[in-house]
Amino acid sequence: AQSVTQPDIHITVSEGASLELRCNYSYGATPYLFWYVQSPGQGLQLLLKYFSGDTLVQGIKGFEAEFKRSQSSFNLRKPSVHWSDAAEYFCAVGARLTGGGNKLTFGTGTQLKVEL
């Protein structure tokens, strides 16, 4: 069965500093990988996704992530954090199901705090 580990529960960075959120996955085949962001009381917004091809993917709001198969990782990065980036970030792996369709397995999330 697939699984996702986000080792950092909380991260605090200063505004303008760089950010890296870690994500490790376990999946038997080529994974579909996603990063979502959730603001308090809101749903999940898709930041970026990896299906295949270029291992460095660009997303919205200046985020990027790099897929490293050898390390089973899909870390999220941003060169300069803005105060509005404070939120909870979820990494997810998508598994194709035998009946068709797919389901997402999420990590436990990383809560990002931005200090002004």
Partner 1 sequence: KAGVTQTPRYLIKTRGQQVTLSCSPISGHRSVSWYQQTPGQGLQFLFEYFSETQRNKGNFPGRFSGRQFSNSRSEMNVSTLELGDSALYLCASSTSKETQYFGPGTRLLVL
Of 63, 67, 89, 90, which one interacts with partner 1 (CB under 8 A)? Answer: 90
Token digits of residue 58: 């660009």
94 binds partner 1 (CB under 8 A): yes
In the complex, minimum distance from the CB of residue 34 to partner 1, in angstroms, rounded to a whole number: 7
Contact predicate 75/21, CB 8 Å: yes
For strand 24-26 and strand 3-5, is the pairing parallel, antiparallel, or unpaired?
Answer: antiparallel
Dist. CA 15–CA 31, nearest whole Å = 33
Contacting partner 1 within 10-69 (CB under 8 A): 32, 34, 36, 41-46, 49, 51
How far, in Å, CA of 87 to CA of 84, rounded?
Answer: 8
Q: Which stretch binds partner 1 (CB under 8 A): 9-17, 55-63, 70-78, 102-110?
A: 102-110
Indicate the residue among 15 and 106 with the shorter CB distance to partner 1. 106
Q: Kindly state the DSSP code that residue 31 receives in the 8-state scheme.
A: P
Under the rule (CB under 8 A), what is the footprint of partner 1? Answer: 32, 34, 36, 41-46, 49, 51, 90, 92, 94, 96-97, 99-109
